[in-house]
Structure 1
Amino acid sequence: MKHLQISPAWFFTDGQGEQLDPRLFALLRAIHKQNKLTQAAEACGFSYRHAWNMLQHWEEFFGTPLIEKQRGRGSRLSPLGEKLLWAEQRVAARLEPQLESLSSEINLEIAHLLEGNKPVLRLHASHGYAVALLPKYIGELPLDLQYCSPADALSALARNACDIAGFHLPIGTAPALYRDYRKRLKPRSHRIIQFITRRQGLMLQAGNPLGVTGLADLADIDLRFINRQATSGTRSLLDALLKEQAIPSANIKGFEQEEFTHSAVAAYIAANMADAGFGVEAAARQFGLDFIPLAQERYVMACHKQALNDPKFQEFLNIIRGEEFHAAVAQLPGYSSDDCGLVASVEDIFNKA
């Protein structure tokens, strides 16, 4: 199957509206990682001359260097090079859920036009690294993946606007979250598909320069915090943890500043716009940040009991139970696919609180 992917493009207004070559961002990322232009060019599949010419072109455009030569230590990004790199990372991280949801809609419309109507599996879910893997491994199964808050996903399931609702439940903490989600489900008519478990915690600048050791330091140390949006399950978990430790959020500088994905929070910190945030370990590792684990949670999916007999559900379960998908999840730091695809009752899941 051919799939449309949507990504943002950068245009600079210079009288000609020149478009920034997206391969420049790949080169900047490689220079940041390798600290040598020769190795960075090789990692990107460029010749050294092509990489050098690309850098020169955009340095002439901006009128300032993108890299700085270090005698005996290779090259590093200039302040502008770093700013461009982290801006691109933040844009991609912030827009990722909306663009993926939109591409899912458009791909289904194109498939219907070319192949006719086929049974579609509608998944409304809280955004996460493992969920984002599904379109790659779903094969020929038409999947309508829409990202939304856990509460909105469960509401969609209740009014039959989706087939599966994805949300996450903290293990051993935040009982108020369990009560809220539990009242939205009916033990007789709903079933829970276990998906993955993941670690959440504090994401900190590389090397943890402020010496943060736990949640209390967010209020006690003069640091800059970046938060998740109030409707997210991750924000609800953080609020619950702060309440359990009697830490007033009003004492946390930047608590009102919000981003909309784990990776957006991590990119914000990596760009030195904040010192700390809260999210999954995979996001911290992706951006080279330090991480302090504070909670573990189950990511689960609710569905109607009778829907489990539908062939598209059986196909979905076979995919997430398969070795290929499990191997992909294993590559995500802090994630585990144990019991992935296991179907349980509402009571079995919520009694584990």
Structure 2
Amino acid sequence: MDKPVSYTIEEVSALLKVSKLTIYDLIKKGKITAFRVGRQMRIDHEDLVAYKAGSRTVKSYSEKAVPALNSHQTVISGQDIVLDLLSKHLEPKLRTPPLRLYMGSLNSLMSMYHGECNLVSVHLYDGETGQYNVPYVKRMLVSQPFALINLVCRNAGIYVRKGNPLQIKTWRDLAKPVVTIVNREKGSGARVLLDEQLRLHQISHENLKGYETEVTNHLSVASAVASGQADAGIGIENVAKMAEVDFIPMIQEQYDLVILKTNENNNLLHHVMNTLSSSDFKSQLSQLKGYDLHLTGQIIYET
């Protein structure tokens, strides 16, 4: 029987980076649906996803709803919770609150290329060089000066059910006939990582059962594994505990920020660098599981 995924109030407050009182207030106002088990309140994964989707200020690029930038607006694109934390730190320093756009790495870069984002996050693995991000950003923004700055390094790998009953330990194990995976959408960093590893190991995606099944974030991948809809999926470490799945680390990836070096972005670049070097910001990051700060704030590449 499939196991439904739900979260405690503490887990939801940690995920959304707000206080438990805020979560209780959202429940009281009917903005998040919750249910009670004994003395404990819980929130279903589907209801949390529905709340986040309904609260987004900007829709995804694929929905063609991204507004054109004006000189005072900052649009930040990416999905990791550390980007939400960065946005909150930048908010008091900017003329208007930043808008958050929740898109995968390649779509974020495309949106920046079209002038629809100021700051995007990327984690794109290049199997030819073994590098993260630089080869992709150089090709995409070939005619525009930019800076690539590390936000965090984080563990990426494979989500499996508790106890790892199918003994999935390598990329090749995903092609076992008994294994069903759930995939990320095209353009996401996790999808690029999987496709590059399949290419390097000479595994056809046609040998992966469930390869065509796509979801749009790490939590949905982990939740599908936890509920028994899939045996494995690709994602990042910090989500595994929330979804109650085991995590097989496969690679440490660079989660970097890209910002165009324009006159309009001078102040934004200054505020980003100051925030990344601040002890307060790093202290908050250090409390999150699965992140490494040894490169945080370093310029990885610039033109």
TM-score with structure 2 setting the length: 0.74
Does residue 341 (structure 1) correspond to residue 294 (structure 2)? The answer is no
Does the C-alpha gap of structure 1 residues 95 and 298 become closer, same or farther in structure 2, counting only changes over 3 Å? farther
Question: Where does residue 73 of structure 2 map in the other structure?
Answer: 120
* Amino acid of the structure 1 residue aligned with 2:116: A
Write the distance in 2 (CA, Å) between the matches of 1:217 and 1:296: 19
Alignment of 1:38-53 (within 5 A): 41=39, 44=40
Measured in 2, the distance between the counterparts of 1:342 and 1:236 equals 24
Identity percentage of aligned residues: 25
Query: Which residue of 100, 113, 122 maps to 1:158?
Result: 113
Of 211, 222, 241, which residue of structure 1 is paired with 2:197?
A: 241
- Asked whether the 8 Å contact 2:105–2:124 carries over to 1, the reply is no
What is the aligned counterpart of 1:22 among 12, 30, 33?
A: 33
Given candidates 89, 98, 123, the residue that maps to 1:143 is 98
The counterpart of 2:266, out of the listed 300, 310, 314, is 310
Structure 2 counterpart of 1:206, from 154, 162, 174: 162
| Stretch of structure 1 that moved more, 282-291 or 298-307 | 298-307
CA RMSD of aligned residues (A): 3.5
- Deviation per CA, 1:83-138, whole angstroms, max 9, x where unpaired? x96xx214534774x4453279xxxxxxxxxxxx9933222x23123213334433
1:64-103 matched pairs, under 5 angstroms = 88-93=44-49, 96=52, 98-99=53-54, 101-102=56-57
Residue matched to 2:215: 259
Q: CA deviation at 1:139?
A: 4.2
Which residue, 146, 169, 173 being the options, matches 1:217? Answer: 173
What is the 5 A alignment of 1:163-202?
A: 163-170=118-125, 179-186=135-142, 189-202=145-158
Distance 1:346 1:187 in 2: 13
Contact 1:205 1:270 (C-alpha < 8 Å) held by counterparts: yes
In 1, Cα distance between the equivalents of 2:276 and 2:50? Answer: 26
Aligned residues: 266
Q: Match of 2:237, as an amino acid?
A: E
Tell whether the 8 Å contact from 2:148 to 2:300 is kept in structure 1 after alignment. Answer: yes
Determine which structure has the larger helix proportion and give its number: 1
Deviations along 1:188-230, whole A, 9 cap, x unmatched? 7211122111111110001111221212112124022111112
Q: How far off its partner does 1:179 sit?
A: 3.7
User: Higher Cα Rg: structure 1 or 2?
Assistant: 1
C-alpha distance in 1 between matches for 2:166 and 2:110: 41
Q: Give the gaps of 5 or more residues in structure 1.
A: 11-18, 29-36, 45-50, 52-83, 105-116, 348-353
Please report the TM-score for the alignment, with normalisation by the length of structure 1. Answer: 0.65
The alpha-carbon distance between structure 1 residues 260 and 188, as it changes in their structure 2 partners (threshold 3 A), is: closer
Q: Give 1:211's aligned amino acid.
A: Q
Distance (Å, rounded) in 1 between the aligned partners of 2:295 and 2:137: 21
